[in-house]
Amino acid sequence: MKLIRFGAPGKEKPGVLINDKCYDVSGFVPDYDEAFFEEGGLARLQQVIAAGSLPEVKVERFGCPVKRPSKIVCIGLNYIDHARETGATPPAEPVIFLKSTTAIIGPNDTIVIPKGSEKTDWEVELAVVIGKKASYVEEANAMDHVAGYCLHNDVSERAFQLERGGTWDKGKGCDTFAPIGPFLATKEEIADVHNLRLWLTVNGQKMQDGTTADLIFTIPHIIAYVSQFMTLLPGDIISTGTPAGVGLGMNPQVYLKPGDVVELGIDGLGSSRQVVKAFQ
């Protein structure tokens, strides 16, 4: 299944994408939130779809396909080429940081360069959506806790992240810094999550072109590892890292400016497009 949320910001309704057509399921499902995943919502939704007679809708705006997860957990430096381009040593264990849920926007919404920003950057990433509570999970069973996958642009302010002291979080959680979607593809939609091409362009110029085959830490390893330090709740999102090609790694460095257009995509997870504007 491909789950969507559509409508004005804050007023999104749940829907599904079938053969490139959008259908409203709000008459059967309140929303795609923690309760939905925890209480067997995916199985019920399959029954609703099988029964047919869903109303088709014309979607003008997609929202994040998951309603306000309890947290977004991000994995840093999870591609060797990206670690090297930033001058970092590839990590021996996953690097974990958190991204604020207030950063979430729809996949085609506007990225706002935050007040005082000097170095707003882009990062195409595969996001994993948790479907079942995970605490002290074994790697062998980790995929049992996955609901599906999404496309995520882990927008980052590098000066805030690296030059202001403290943790990375302050450069990751600014408003609009988490465009997610256009849809959540459930597990069975993706034949091999470790063999997906992911790419990103800025103003039509290819910046990133990688593959999840190059992940340092696999999806099962990441889920099991993170669950040793925090409980993952249904609907939580884990963003798994970005390949080489970010602005920070270029010589000279290149960062987003007002009017830029960022486009990105992952095999099987669609594409998204964000226009950049200045904080006002």
Closest CA to 154 of 121, 129, 182: 121
Q: Are residues 52 and 83 in the same domain?
A: no
Residue 165's pLDDT is 87
End residue of a domain, out of 63, 81, 111: 63
Q: Are residues 114 and 14 in the same domain?
A: no
Average pLDDT of the chain is: 97
Q: Are residues 137 and 214 in the same domain?
A: yes
Q: Are residues 190 and 214 in the same domain?
A: yes
Residue 95's pLDDT is 96
Q: pLDDT tens-digit profile of 31-57?
A: 999 999 999 999 999 999 999 889 999
Residue 167's pLDDT is 86
Q: Are residues 28 and 79 in the same domain?
A: no
Q: Are residues 189 and 51 in the same domain?
A: no
Q: Are 257 and 111 in contact (CB under 8 A)?
A: no
CA-to-CA separations, 211 to 94, 118, 200, in angstroms, rounded: 18, 29, 12
Query: How many domains are contained in the chain?
Result: 2
End residue of a domain, out of 15, 35, 63: 63
Q: Are residues 151 and 235 in the same domain?
A: yes
Q: Are residues 54 and 107 in the same domain?
A: no
Residue 234's pLDDT is 98
Residue 89's pLDDT is 87
Q: What is the CATH number of the domain that holds 220?
A: 3.90.850.10
Question: Pseudo-torsion of CA 219, 261, 61, 272, nearest 10°?
Answer: -30
Q: pLDDT tens-digit profile of 49-102?
A: 999 889 999 999 999 999 999 999 999 999 998 988 888 888 999 999 999 999
Instruction: Give percent above pLDDT 90 in the chain.
Output: 94
Q: pLDDT tens-digit profile of 117-172?
A: 999 999 999 999 999 999 999 999 999 999 999 999 999 999 999 999 888 999 99
Residue 18's pLDDT is 97
pLDDT at 201 over 90: yes
Q: Are residues 115 and 14 in the same domain?
A: no
End residue of a domain, out of 63, 86, 105: 63
Whether the pTM exceeds 0.85: the reply is yes
Q: Are residues 112 and 196 in the same domain?
A: yes
Q: What is the largest CA-CA distance in the chain?
A: 56
Query: Burial level of 56, CB count in 10 A (0-12/13-18/19+)?
Result: exposed
Residue 198's pLDDT is 98
Q: Are residues 115 and 217 in the same domain?
A: yes
Domain that holds residue 151: 72-278
